[in-house]
Amino acid sequence: MNLYEGNTWKVVFGDWDQSFPGYTVISCSKEGLSELTDNDWIELGKIEKELERITKELFGAAMHNFACLMNNAYRDNEKPHVHFHFIPRYKEKVRILNKEYKDKHFGYNF
């Protein structure tokens, strides 16, 4: 599900893995990081900042991981494209629509 589409970037809801509520992928069609313009980086920064604000406000995210991993494109023999994984992390349990989420990898026992 697309959440946002800007000049360069598209934000896609990671509905295939909501182990971390609010997990999204931020992608564009450019093949490498060196192809990104200053304006692309500025837009990306604004998107990341807004995603942090939203996940803190809605779900109580304690911190956020932001990673650019493009290895699978080469492994799967696909055309690579720049994309970032936005992964909110949770110190406390999160309850959404009667479902409870625990961030097992955060380093806390519940």
5 pLDDT higher than 60: yes
pLDDT cut 90: percent of the chain above it: 45
Domains of the chain, start order: 2-101 (3.30.428.10)
More confident residue, 106 or 21: 21
> Within 11-79, where are the H helices?
38-59, 71-75
Strand, helix or coil for residue 33: helix
pLDDT at site 22? 87
Q: Is a pLDDT exceeding 70 seen at residue 6?
A: yes
Q: What is the pTM of this model?
A: 0.79
Task: Identify any residues that bridge with 100 across adjacent strands, giving them in sequence order.
Answer: 95
What is the chain written as a DSSP string? -EEEE-SS-EEEE-TT--SSTT-EEEE-S-SSGGG--HHHHHHHHHHHHHHHHHHHHHH---EEEEEE--HHHHHTT-----EEEEEEE-SS-EEETTEEE--TTSS---
Q: Is the pLDDT of residue 51 over 60?
A: yes
CA-to-CA distance for 110 and 106, rounded, in angstroms?
Answer: 11
